[in-house]
Structure 1
Amino acid sequence: MLTLIGGIILLIVGYFTYGKYIEKNFEPVTDRKTPAEVLRDNLDFVPMPKWKNGIIELLNIAGTGPIFGPIMGALYGPVAYIWIIFGCIFAGAVHDYMLGMVSLRNNGDQLPALAGRYIGKVAKHLVNLFACLLLLLVGTVFVTSPANLIQQALPFESNLEVIIILIFIYYLISTVLPIDQAIGKVYPWFGAILILSTIAIGITLFFSGYTMPELSPATLQNFHPKGLAIFPGMFFTISCGAMSGFHATQAPMVSRTMTDEQEGHFTFYGMMIAEGVIAMIWAAAAMSLFNGQTLSEMIDAGTASVVVDAVSKMLLGNVLGTVAILGVIVLPISSGLSAFRSLRIILADYLNIKQDTLTKVMTITLPVYVISYFLTKVDFNILWRYFNWANQVTAVLALLVTTRYLFLKGKNYWVTLVPGAFMLYACVVYIFSEPIGFNLGLSMISYIGGLIVTVILLAVYWQQGVKQKREMDPSSTLLHDEWPILTRNPELAKNN
């Protein structure tokens, strides 16, 4: 219990201390016009209030990640708490804030466009590939996982295929509606369900009588029943609860609805801290209610949704437990919708297809849903494995983009470079060791070879950055952020 309470307190303190430092380092300008105001199109660029942007950001980034991930991460034991707490404060929340704010300074551009602007054209194409792959996988995962939860929650026998199709129909309708109608009106209700259900699980867990494993020298070891190594496995398993590249595709969408740069600390950094709190509660619940072997068997028998169902009903009973499950269901549904919407925006920007008619919107949207539907036929655990790797590679790319932004502007870039370098090493080791890569296992070749490759990649990245800054025109907008937002609208540029 002390670990859970202490962890939540640390997350909150991190928000008011390190989060404020990150904000000060970026230097938001309160009277600067935002993309929502200058580029308003009543589809994606729509001004919305701070509280609503915060809820939308939380639901966008949450998905089943801060629940499924920590549940599976709980297999490693209390050591999982460390990555959730410190990963969230020093990596995940920094990642979300910086990418969201850089997007806000650049027309609300998505990650591929930002990579092209700050790193180069090759990076733009590479990031576009990973972002699209990630969003397609995320959207698919967040169709199958809520479908499984809904099927388990229904009091009568139901067809999983029908549930999946109904979710796709909801996504399709919502993807083509203006953001303030599709998301702005529904998400506050989803947010209320999520918050209340999380509080209910947390409070009930405190008074349930179950023994919560505490973090101590004796428990600071690997308890995974299958003996899977903590590094890099745990850092991929617990992603959305600590650091996730998926967030880099969601923050720009919210940057298109903000009206004040000062909102960033609450909307981007703060909502990631909130996600960390959710992750702590579910990791504690999984460790408290089940031993590692039982937890592993439950996950292997289905997905982590089996554990969610069991935890909710064991702590809250059948009726309130079902209500809590609804709180979990809204997470993947909201994030799945946001994933497909972001994918439409990225593809439209990349292919230069202006989203000003329903025909153009559907031209991109329909093929995406068809591909995703066929991906739902793939085993969930396989999808999750590929999603994890693509997710963290995208996070690394986002951190490298924001590091370059800070470097060019003469600010403290170590705050993004350090977590970026750490996760780059984890990604390289993962691809060396896992079957989806070179399948070398966690051998010395994987660890040492991964370190060598990581150092080489970072050296090339650093050299290019130094050259870019040395050759840059002192008046470049990359240095001064001189209203690049107006370049998309010549008429507005004349009047400003």
Structure 2
Amino acid sequence: MNSLVLVLVAIVFFIVAYSTYGSWLCKKWGIDPKRPTPAHTRTDGVDYVPAKAPVLLGHHFSSIAGAGPIVGPIAAAVFGWLPVMLWIIIGSIFFGGVHDMGALFASIRHDGKSIGEVIHVNMGDTGKKLFSWFAWLSLLLVIAAFTSICAATFVKVPSAATSSLLFILLAIIFGFLVYRRGAGLGISSVIGVALLFFCIWLGLEFPLHLSYNTWVVILLAYIAVASVTPVWILLQPRDYLNSFLLYAMLLGGVLGVLIKHPKIQLPAVTSFNLGNYKLLFPILFVTVACGAISGFHSLVGSGTTSKQLDNEKDVKVIGYGSMLIEGVLATLAIITAAYIGQDKLAELLKGSATNVFSNGLGEFMTGFGLPFATGKSFVALAISAFALTSLDTATRLGRFIFQEMFDKRKSADEVSSNPLTNKYVATIITVVLGGLLTFKGWRTIWPVFGSANQLLAALALLSLAVFLKRQGKEYRMASIPTVFMFLVTLFALVLLIIGKMSNFGKNWPIILIAVVLFVLAIILMITGVKALSDNKVSEDKNFKA
């Protein structure tokens, strides 16, 4: 099999899906470009800040991409490249795309509130509380996994550490000039991107060598600060500028494959049962994770993106389009694992999945004259930049959800007396607990993260189905994927718990989290099915049917 065929097939399928299925979803859901979005009706200068579509696309894409669509497909390559590719394409189009676009759409129709609030309105207060706890626990896993991945990358590629720190400073300057000094987005973008690549050069010249544990502490301190700063000064500009790195990496990878078209060495299917409870079904689907569908995306879409959406017409390109672009990234990831064969893949995986990806894309980019070392360093830097983006977005989302869980106010004008609703207290609790899990390492966390993440997606799809039905809209595009994702993830959690029990003393924190997530998911599933089975019509006066 030629890798060029895989890339072209994936891109063609995604373009067709965006033009047809994506447009059909907009029509069925009633996307209204004339309807004011929460970014305008609730502007506060901190979280609710209107952003132009290119800027918001950059934020959303950078936040959802992270290391997930790279680590997942490469880890799942042990089953062979064909099952992974099929799930990336089918999952991105009919599962992940619907999930991401639906979460964003449902949130803007609920004043930019989180999926937890969508569940509150459509499934009741108990459903919201349970989902909020589920989502918050899942975000602790995201924080732990991505902090570990970032720290490990900074240790292995010190130049990426230097450049990433410089990116943060550049983003602050960019945000200040654009949002407070009225600098034009176009010229600022050109200068910002030029300085972005200058930061890359500085990183290569002045690599920063620190230990893994030191980087973990620095990263945890950073995300704590980033969680409470206004989105215009760091989140929006950093993610927007970083998106150009991802676009460049994607373009370089695709171009490299077009020129070198490396031959696939990995078997199409290696095994349906790898032993130790690693069955193709359901492990493949929870391992690929963000490369096809990710519950984390629903938290981003309903947590930060919906509060910045300038116009409802942008829901399609930002919600559905971003997932399809991520599908292209996942396709490149599986190719970097499949072109080297099983033996070399196992050797490179001893470093990390990002090591496999960096080596692969670095090799592909030699096809158009870029030195391997430079290409590998650039890809490693891009990965760390996106993982860092997902990391601070996850922390902000964790802070939002934690505050919501303890907020008993009946209106936004009231002042809460509960210290747990304070954004600084919520941030510290979230960061400290996520940080404690970080020292387990990403390899230990990833299996439970994958299951929790996909189960979170199932719950988000369930809430979308209930919301659409109560509005008298077509909802099968959400309900059918919901059933499949519940079957996959509940089965995967059971296998995970059984597999970890042999070393309970070491694995008890992971087992405890898995059991809690399983129980919460079952209760929420029952609550959702009851809500879906009734014929209650929404009393939401703000929804324009």
TM-score if structure 1 supplies the norm length? 0.86
> Could you list the runs of 5+ residues in structure 1 that have no partner in the other structure?
441-453, 484-496
Match of 1:239 in 2: 289
1:408 aligns with 2:470: yes
Q: Return the match for 2:532 from 465, 469, 478.
A: 465
Mean Cα displacement is larger for which, 348-357 or 253-262?
A: 348-357
Compared with structure 1, are the counterparts of its residues 209 and 17 closer, same or farther at alpha carbon in structure 2 (3 Å cutoff)?
Answer: closer
CA 263–209 in structure 1, closer or farther in 2 if over 3 Å, else same: closer
Q: In the alignment, what sits opposite 2:505? A: none
**Residue in 1 that maps onto 2:445:** 383
Q: 2:353 matched to which residue of 1? A: 304
Question: What whole-Å deviation, never above 9, does each CA across 1:235-282 have from its counterpart, x for those lacking one?
Answer: 001111101100111001111111211110011011111111111111
Q: Is the 8 A contact 2:143 2:435 kept in 1?
A: no
- The aligned residue for residue 140 of structure 1 is 144
Contact 1:251 1:268 in 2 (8 A): yes
Which stretch of the first structure deviates more once superposed, 34-43 or 195-204? 195-204
Q: Any residues of structure 2 matched to 1:278-427 within 5 Å, and which?
A: 278-288=329-339, 290-299=340-349, 301-316=350-365, 317-352=372-407, 360-427=422-489
TM-aligned CA deviation for residue 303 of structure 1: 2.8
1:97 corresponds in structure 2 to: 101
Alignment partner of 2:49 out of 32, 43, 46: 46
Aligned 8 A contact 2:36 2:311 in 1: yes
Question: Contact 1:61–1:246 at 8 Å: present in 2 too?
Answer: yes
Q: Find the aligned partners of 1:343 and 1:146 in 2 and give their Cα distance.
A: 19
Moved more, 81-90 or 200-209: 200-209
Work out the CA distance in 1 between the residues paired with 2:32 and 2:523.
37
Q: Which residue of 2 aligns with 1:197?
A: 249
Aligned to 1:74: 77
Residue 225 of structure 1 contacts residue 292 of structure 1 at CA under 8 Å; is this kept in 2?
no
Give the Å deviation of 1:121.
1.9
Shift of 1:304: 1.4
Distance (Å, rounded) in 2 between the aligned partners of 1:9 and 1:339: 32
Residues 286 and 307 of structure 1 are in contact (CA less than 8 Å); yes or no, is this contact kept in structure 2?
Answer: yes
What is the match of residue 446 of structure 1? none
8 Å Cα contact 1:148-1:305 kept in structure 2:
no
Distance 1:340 1:157, change over 3 A: closer
> Match for residue 123 of structure 1?
127
Which residue of structure 1 aligns with residue 517 of structure 2? none
* Conserved? CA contact 1:64–1:328, under 8 Å: yes
Quick check: 2:289–2:454 contact (8 Å CA) kept in 1? yes
Residue 25 of structure 1, CA deviation: 0.9
Q: 1:97·1:269 contact (CA, 8 Å) conserved in 2?
A: yes
CA 125–324 in structure 1, closer or farther in 2 if over 3 Å, else same: same
Equivalent in 266, 271, 274 of residue 325 of structure 2: 274
Which secondary structure does the structure 1 equivalent of 2:497 belong to? coil
For structure 2, list consecutive stretches of 5 or more residues without a partner in the other structure. Answer: 159-206, 366-371, 503-520
* Residues 177 and 386 of structure 1: CA distance in aligned 2, closer, same or farther (over 3 Å): same
Aligned length: 460
The one-letter code sitting in structure 1 at the alignment partner of 2:61 is L
CA distance in 2, matches of 1:153, 1:165: 18
Q: Is the 8 A contact 2:47 2:231 kept in 1?
A: yes
Does the CA contact (< 8 Å) of 2:74 and 2:353 recur in 1? Answer: yes
CA 1:65/1:456 → structure 2, altered by over 3 Å: closer, same or farther?
A: closer
Moved more, 369-378 or 251-260: 369-378
Hey, what does 2:262 align to over in structure 1? 210
User: Matched residue of 2:422: which SS?
Assistant: helix
**Matching of residue 477 in structure 1 with residue 533 in structure 2:** no
Pairwise CA distance, 1:46: 0.7
Q: What is the TM-score of this pair, normalised by structure 2?
A: 0.78
Please tell me whether residue 161 in structure 1 is matched to residue 165 in structure 2.
no
Give the superposition deviation at 1:293. Answer: 3.9
Aligned to 1:451: none
Judge which range, 454-463 or 75-84, deviates more.
454-463
Which residue of the partner structure matches residue 494 of structure 1? Answer: none
Q: Deviations along 1:417-471, whole A, 9 cap, x unmatched?
A: 111100111122213323368979xxxxxxxxxxxxx99997874444333x24x
Q: Give a deviation string over 1:58-83, Cα, whole Å, max 9, x none.
A: 01111111111111122222221000
Identity %: 25
- The AA in structure 1 aligned to 2:231 is I
- 61, 65, 69: which one pairs with 2:68? 65
Select between 55-64 and 156-165 the one with higher mean Cα deviation. 156-165
Shift of 1:138: 0.5
**Deviation of residue 363 (structure 1)?**
1.5
The answer as to 2:232 corresponding to 1:229 is no
Which secondary structure does the structure 1 equivalent of 2:9 belong to? helix
AA of the residue aligned to 2:145 = V
Distance 2:248 2:449 in 1: 29
Instruction: Say whether the 8 Å CA contact 2:148–2:439 is kept in structure 1.
Output: no
Q: Decide which of 18, 23, 30 is 1:20's aligned counterpart.
A: 23
Distance 1:437 1:120, change over 3 A: farther
Aligned partners of 1:223, 1:213: CA distance in 2, in Å? 19
Matching residue of 1:257: 308
Q: CA deviation at 1:399?
A: 0.5
In the alignment, is the contact (CA less than 8 A) between 2:67 and 2:383 conserved in 1? yes
Residue 240 of structure 2 is matched in structure 1 by: 188
Q: Which residue of 1 aligns with 2:177?
A: none
The verdict on how the C-alpha distance between 1:12 and 1:180 changes in structure 2, with shifts beyond 3 A counting, is: same
For residues 136 and 156 of structure 1, what CA distance do their matches in structure 2 show?
27
Q: Which stretch shifts more, 188-197 or 201-210?
A: 201-210
Q: Residue 36 in 1 paired to residue 88 in 2?
A: no
When the two chains are superposed, the root-mean-square deviation of aligned CA atoms in Å is: 2.9
